[in-house]
Amino acid sequence: MKKVAVIFGGQSTEHDISIITALSAIIRPLRLRKQYEVIPVYISKTGTWYSEPELTDVLTFQTSRIDEILQKAKPIWLEMGNGLTLVKGGLKTTKTRIDIVFPAMHGTNGEDGALMGLLQMSGVTYVGCDLRSSVIAMDKALSKVVVQTAGIDVAKSIHISKREYQKKPNYFIDLAKALSLPLFVKPTHLGSSIGISRNSSYDELTNALEVALHYDDAALIEEAIPNLIELTVPVMGNDMPRAGLVEKPRTDPDEFFDFSTKYMNQGGKKIGTQKTSQGSQGYSELPANITKELYARAEKTALAVYTALGCMGTARVDLLVDSKTDTVYFNEINPLPGSLYAHNWRQAGVAPVQLVEELIELAIERHAAHQELDHSFSSNFLRQF
């Protein structure tokens, strides 16, 4: 039976979301399939790595039991080289060689390519976007540049580094006045809509930038798209990606699809007098109730973005639509969708067990292709030196 390590948690603002993704969307269906030995690998908020059987129960994380377990548990470390082995000390050191890694770490160090780099260097098969596509995808500014070169529309924006802003804040506020209101301010490298704000006047930008730059070392000031429809599309695949269903989050025109709407308990935006429910799964139209032409264009744009950024495994593409002109703009891409966006795939006809199995098969396929590449190059360079 292949050993699959599911890595989750981490020192990230999305630590808690990662726990849910790991436990409900990955570990549970994988275990039910009985084809894999599933090994939880949890990275605590202090950055210590653990692997204990109790770390697969969500109740553990909802109570103080997690602290009790971590107090008694032995940390693990990684042995790398022609694969990945988990090593746990104690009276007797135990080593567990891993066949496949399933990353479930959102945000910093997880989704941004850091973990992927580690896994790539170790030579282990791993699921999801690779180092290159993760780095680009998690950088809102960089990803906009890349998709723009592929002919996809993006909203006008300016990119600000924290260091530069601290030197000359007014300069960037003045620069932003070239953009039309309202304006969104976003941390460049974070997901789950953390630190994002919508600003109706230029005076609000200073505060907004302080918030964004509290969480990140760079930020984006971006024009809002008028007559807005927000759409989101999960995509899965390597060389031949396919889209799930085009989904339309239910938001008031003046509000946006923020962290609270996405994740919080009974969260949901009011639509008139009607309140949606079920937090992340109750907020949207699935499939989106839009024209057939717009639906097709959104799907096509999502696939084009996925391919342009070199994504593999799965990702979720967020789009903005000006409903008057029907122009589809790329907003951002999430290389590790929360809960793998399993609710969308299920509606598209892919059961949760199928989803994780397919992602593993895609990972194996990519790994095999990568192995075929020659990574060495003979030369006389050293002799010349």
Partner 1 sequence: MRRFLGYWSWRYPTYITYMLQASEYKPAAYIAWWLRTSDFRYVMKRRILDSTTKATLIRIALRLLYMVGIFAICYSLYVSISSRNLAWLLLGLLLFVVWPLVTAFSVLGLVWLGEVLIQRPKERAIQSRAAARSATLSARKIAIAGSYGKTSMKEMLQTILSVKLNVRATPGNKNTLAGNSFFIQNLLGDEDVLVFEFGESYVGDIAALCQLVQPQIGIITGITEAHLDTFDSQENLVGTIYELSDYLGEAHVYKNADSDYIREHIVGHDRLAYSHTGVNGWTVTDIHTSLQGVSFIAHRDGRSLPLVSGLIGAHHVGPLITCVDIAHRLGLNDEEIATGVARTKPFEHRMQTYILHGATIIDDTYNGNPVGIRSGLSVLRTVEARRRIYVTPGLVGLGEKSDTIHEAIGREIARSADVVVLMKNSTTDALRRGVERGGFKGRLILVGEPLEFYQNIDQFVAAGDVVLMQNDWTDNYT
> Does 351 participate in binding partner 1 (rule CB under 8 A)?
yes
Q: Binding residue for partner 1 (CB under 8 A) from 84, 208, 352, 360?
A: 352
SS3 45: coil
Residue list 353-372, contact with partner 1 (CB under 8 A): 353-354
234 near partner 1, judged by CB under 8 A: no
The reply on whether position 175 binds partner 1 by CB under 8 A is: no
| Residue 12 CB neighbour total at 10 angstroms | 23
Closer to partner 1 by Cβ: residue 27 or 363: 27
Does residue 28 belong to the site contacting partner 1 (CB under 8 A)?
Answer: yes
232 has which bridge partners?
247, 318
Cα distance between residue 369 and residue 239, in whole Å: 11
Judged by CB under 8 A, does residue 8 bind partner 1?
no
Q: Which residues of 196-235 are buried (b: 16+ CB within 10 A; e: fewer)?
A: bbebeeeebbeebbeebbebbebbbbbbbbeeebbbbbbb
277 scored as a contact of partner 1 (CB under 8 A): no
CA distances from 348 to 30, 70, 171, 305 (A): 20, 39, 48, 20
Q: How far is the CB of 35 from partner 1 (least distance, A)?
A: 10
Shortest Å, Cβ 352 to partner 1:
5
Question: CA angle at residue 18 from 16 to 21, to 5 degrees?
Answer: 120
Q: With binding defined as CB under 8 A, does residue 244 bind partner 1?
A: no
34 vs 72, beta carbon nearer partner 1 = 34
- In this structure, the number of other CB atoms found within 10 A of the CB of residue 26 comes to 27
In the set 346, 358, 364, 365, which binds partner 1 (CB under 8 A)? 346
Between the alpha carbon of residue 70 and those of residues 62, 67, 163, 268, 305, the distances in Å are 14, 5, 37, 34, 41
Among residues 171, 347, 368, 371, the one that binds partner 1 under rule CB under 8 A:
347
Query: Taking the complex as a whole, how short is the minimal distance between the CB of residue 350 and partner 1, in angstroms?
Result: 6
Out of 9, 29, 191, 337, the only residue in the binding site for partner 1 (CB under 8 A) is 29
Question: Which of these, 271, 265, 274, 272, lies nearest to 249 by C-alpha position?
Answer: 271
> Is residue 195 within the footprint of partner 1 (CB under 8 A)?
no
Q: How far is the CB of 354 from partner 1 (least distance, A)?
A: 7
Per-residue binder mask for partner 1 (CB under 8 A), 32-71, x = binder: x-x-------------------------------------
The DSSP element (H or E) to which 301 belongs, if any, is: helix 292-308
Amino acid at 122: S
Beta strands in 29-92 (DSSP E): 36-43, 49-50, 76-80, 84-88
Of 109-117, 163-171, 233-241, 347-355, the window that binds partner 1 (rule: CB under 8 A) is 347-355
Positions that interact with partner 1 (CB under 8 A): 28-29, 32, 34, 345-354
